[in-house]
Chain A
Amino acid sequence: AQKITQTQPGMFVQEKEAVTLDCTYDTSDPSYGLFWYKQPSSGEMIFLIYQGSYDQQNATEGRYSLNFQKARKSANLVISASQLGDSAMYFCAMRDHGGATNKLIFGTGTLLAVQP
């Protein structure tokens, strides 16, 4: 069965520093996608970055980058130059590309607090 594990319930980072949020996954499917979402206290889920299982390069999107290590089944999110507005819950999610549903399977999330 597919599973996402986020082992850091909470993280602190100083403003302007970089932070890495961990995510490991488990799947037997060769084709899959990994997503990171940000959820502020207001509740909406904001898409940040995507990595496909066959992508050769690590994904980057502005201050967000994904450290994808396929053999280790990890897809860590790196946020550079943290800002106060980055304080939120962060969820790692996986989608099976081969299934008809393409549902997302989420981890339990990491609460990031950016300190001034």
Chain B
Amino acid sequence: ETGVTQSPTHLIKTRGQQVTLRCSSQSGHNTVSWYQQALGQGPQFIFQYYREEENGRGNFPPRFSGLQFPNYSSELNVNALELDDSALYLCASSVQGLPNQPQHFGDGTRLSIL
């Protein structure tokens, strides 16, 4: 069973730039959720993708956007990067309709904004 994989592991960008983070879901999982974890905080829900459409969104501005592909992998795009976007970005996959099953997380992408 292949787990959740994220790329890249680390990324350094400057303010105003754009970034794309990638996530491959665990085999058999059809739903991908993205979380932002600032230093010393718990993860905050950004959005979720199911059937290639956004299936719920947290309190994040529109410059955070995403995609899901037919193979269930996903991208997180952030435009006009700000210093506060520096964080660990976690991707989690799950099976829609099975809320008692855990979301499985990748190792995350550490994004630093200079």
Chain A residues in 8 Å Cβ range of B48: 101-103
Q: Mark A72-116, 1 if CB is under 8 A from B, else 0.
A: 000000000000000000010101110111111111110000000
Point out the residues of chain B lying under 8 angstroms from A105, CB to CB: 45
> How near does chain A come to B8, taking the closest CB pair, in angstroms?
13
Q: How far is the CB of A52 from chain B (nearest CB, A)?
A: 5
Flag if A97 contacts B100 (CB, 8 Å). yes
In B12-68, the 8 Å CB interface with A consists of 33, 35, 40-45, 48, 55-56, 58
**Contact, CB under 8 Å: A103 / B90:** no
Contact of B99 among A44, A102, A106 (CB under 8 A): A102
Question: A49 — nearest CB in chain B belongs to which residue?
Answer: B102
Residues of A within 8 A of B (CB): 4, 33, 35, 37, 42-47, 50, 52, 91, 93, 95-97, 99-109
B residues in contact (CB < 8 Å) with A: 33, 35, 40-45, 48, 55-56, 58, 88, 90, 92, 94, 96, 99-100, 102-108, 110
